[in-house]
Structure 1
């Protein structure tokens, strides 16, 4: 798109429609985290898993259900982003998926004792929440242009702050609702908040800047990739095409085996724990990784068949996907605070006998998750007002990619600390729940550096016609983060792996905590190497141009 360059206006004002988007996000996040943060405790104690003996087996299954749900939540952004960009636009897609979201909450409240009804509710919430997830942030970004884009960073930070404002109160009160009033109320209240979120979003409909959907695009990301892979050049190898074909065959085989397992007819030699969800997500990962790699090798062949801007846009997206792939280990650590860390907290002592412990409020280990959003609300302004200016004065350039790389490494440190706490528990010590504050602090600091930064990074790097889809790819990093968790949990069921863990002298929980810490450190090192040669982009909309 050719347009006269514009510069930010010093007197630019915040778009007046932003409060509707922010208010919607606050209520939606309360509803989501309210149900999400009590899901594992509810499942462990519910009749839904009554067919399993109480203890480690039921905890493991609750953890599997939770991470399968998370995979769904962060998979469906692909669908929402595609429908928005191609057909319905962001506003309509968000509104319709929000209604599906509300129906899912209703199922949880009504079918607490019915496995089919409850799991249907989880599916609808995953579909609704995932469908709107890539759109609300990019819809917020659409309200800005080149003249006021300097205000967008404030809003993206405020956006992330308000997410955690909703999460904080949900994390505090949802476990209390579950404890005192039962699951119907505990899941029903978040449903009411989701309905309020939908109404708030609808109220701002006349003030929004609505970037129209692109519709069928002959120069879309997928079409450019197809051309690059199909176009043959005399005297040149087709290694990229061959790589993509092999990836398709392997992915198809994975998907078929997953479907057979879903219907209970998988080959007898196939590991039982590698079910449909793991195989389907693995197939998707193989297609994205090797299909994208193959396309990058032959991308120049698409020039002449597609505009240079489209080809350059695809190359930019492929570079962004490498950044995203290196962030997936962070999410494998972060999302386990609502599963592995809750289970660890259940083995710790709540220090009600200490004068400084707020016994009137913190009664359940699951409520420790409230520390995460509380610390986010404190750390975001601290970083922007104190830490980053101080680092700049000391001569350190605080780029988005550097913040993200350090965030991954610091999350690994948090799991080292959690592993040490687990060693104390395994040794028979009575460990105070208060000690979990330290890994929560470190993990949250890592989260602020990674996730809050990535909201701005993903929007600014995405080409205009692909913003919804690239945001969907960003949220897909959480799907693959939970996939790492499911793969690891499946691996520890292997007798050989169990023997290897036993040979270390560590319990299985402690071993896995140190394993995930090492996973994060390796990812942080790889991220730092790639970030050094990543070319930053600026893809904010030009003032007065909606498309």
Structure 2
């Protein structure tokens, strides 16, 4: 519950309008996403053309090192949500975590702009940004939902749609403009602009401080996932399932919730990381490929990093089309595209995007000059894969977990991204695959994951846990904007 000093009481007349604090959160998200994608989308090119140029003279080795560093950074971005979410839920609350880590975020951007020629300072900036960006990621999306109550909960889905659209809007314009800034004005300005946007985002968020509903932290949870697992290990052999022994110290709901976490993780952890291996390389491997293409498209000269604008542009178009047209049409035809069908299909579609890109790379290696516009096709295919896997999978992880374990399942979902980026970073550092081989390697892994997931899905028992219990409905504000956490 919000105290009188932190939120205005809802009234009947306000139920048809968004709460007055929502524009502050949406404005913060738009600027923050621009800042993040602005710096991330030029990171690979900056490392190759600027920071590593003198240290690593060979361009192939330099590209591999740049790719490894970029994916280590992304691994941090998807690891630190565990830290931020824990601090917010247990100790500090979402507002304090968002505000304090946003300042860390701004400091990281400043390091990038100031230390463009200093590797130690620049890498310190990347660490600070991964901490700030990752730490606030689960808090901002959840805080949006916290602002609604029973009188206006019908607006939650609408505001989350706006929230997700805002993410892609920021990504779209950052992808178009910041690569050009790097080309024409240099790294200090190119990294400085995202830093300014992040500072503006922080100020916008701070300006709404008197309006926010602030859900207080819960403090330590005596029946958390880790405590249930620890109890089960101490009381082994107490039932048919290895977790049954935890019932001596924890309620049945918590024990069953822990079982659900392991059940869902057994499906997602061996498969979903292979999708993120594909998807996140659009900011590294695909950019490196674009550098070897003809950048001239009619009167426009595209920078290699700019092609990433295709993904958010397509997401804003394809999600309404798939959800509103394709899925219902398939259902009317007698074949419902359930989540357990969408995710393996999405992995296979993603593998196909890498087959296309790999074929392009074969032609490039044969000294065929390809226009950069050819990347449009694999970007379209990869975006369809994203919608089938990412937007479906996060919601699936959420609905399949009981109320007590929904938070830990979101952490597991984000962990799949972190693990994937660590794997790509290690492979790039070892320079295991180069050229066309890496495209077919990752595409093959994703295809095997698709087959494996399809086989496991046939035996998976779907158990939907909605936010209802014997004490009444839990407000919709408990649900995050499921499609946004990995953006």
Normalising by structure 1, we get a TM-score of 0.78
Q: Provide the aligned C-alpha RMSD in A.
A: 2.6
Residue 38 of structure 1: SS of its match in structure 2?
Answer: helix
Measured against aligned partners, the alpha-carbon deviations of 1:439-477 in whole angstroms (never above 9, x if no partner) come to 000001111222233443444445445544432332221
Superposed counterparts of 1:338-349, under 5 Å: 338-349=283-294
- Alpha-carbon distance in 1 for matches of 2:61, 2:283: 17
- Alpha-carbon distance in 2 for matches of 1:146, 1:456: 22
Superposed counterparts of 1:493-508, under 5 Å: 493=432, 508=434
**Partner of residue 464, structure 2:** 537
- Alpha-carbon distance in 2 for matches of 1:322, 1:199: 42
Is 1:70 the counterpart of 2:74? The answer is yes
1:120 to 1:97, Cα distance in 2 relative to 1, 3 A: same
Is 1:319 the counterpart of 2:263? The answer is yes
**Partner of residue 282, structure 1:** none
**Partner of residue 7, structure 1:** none
Is residue 64–residue 431 contact of structure 2 (8 Å, CA) maintained in 1? no
Counterpart pick for 2:173 among 156, 169, 173: 169
Superposed counterparts of 1:408-423, under 5 Å: 408-423=347-362
- Alpha-carbon distance in 1 for matches of 2:350, 2:58: 31
- Alpha-carbon distance in 2 for matches of 1:18, 1:398: 34
Counterpart pick for 1:519 among 425, 431, 445: 445
Counterpart pick for 1:509 among 424, 432, 435: 435
Instruction: Tell me which moved more, 469-478 or 124-133.
Output: 469-478
Unaligned runs of 5+ in 2: 1-13, 479-487
1:534 to 1:154, Cα distance in 2 relative to 1, 3 A: farther
Is residue 145–residue 543 contact of structure 1 (8 Å, CA) maintained in 2? no
Is 1:456 the counterpart of 2:395? The answer is yes
Counterpart pick for 1:298 among 242, 249, 252: 242
- Alpha-carbon distance in 2 for matches of 1:384, 1:26: 24
Normalising by structure 2, we get a TM-score of 0.87
**Partner of residue 485, structure 2:** none
Counterpart pick for 1:35 among 32, 36, 39: 39
Is residue 209–residue 546 contact of structure 1 (8 Å, CA) maintained in 2? no
Instruction: Tell me which moved more, 528-537 or 38-47.
Output: 528-537
Is residue 376–residue 444 contact of structure 1 (8 Å, CA) maintained in 2? yes
Shift of 1:412: 0.8
Superposed counterparts of 1:100-249, under 5 Å: 100-143=104-147, 152-233=156-237
1:41 to 1:319, Cα distance in 2 relative to 1, 3 A: same
Unaligned runs of 5+ in 1: 1-10, 237-295, 499-507
Is residue 258–residue 405 contact of structure 2 (8 Å, CA) maintained in 1? no
1:141 to 1:311, Cα distance in 2 relative to 1, 3 A: farther
**Partner of residue 382, structure 1:** 321
Instruction: Tell me which moved more, 151-160 or 92-101.
Output: 151-160
Is residue 334–residue 443 contact of structure 1 (8 Å, CA) maintained in 2? yes
Is residue 81–residue 469 contact of structure 1 (8 Å, CA) maintained in 2? no
- Alpha-carbon distance in 2 for matches of 1:43, 1:546: 41
- Alpha-carbon distance in 1 for matches of 2:401, 2:149: 15
Is residue 161–residue 380 contact of structure 1 (8 Å, CA) maintained in 2? no
Q: How many residue pairs end up in the alignment?
A: 458
Shift of 1:90: 2.0
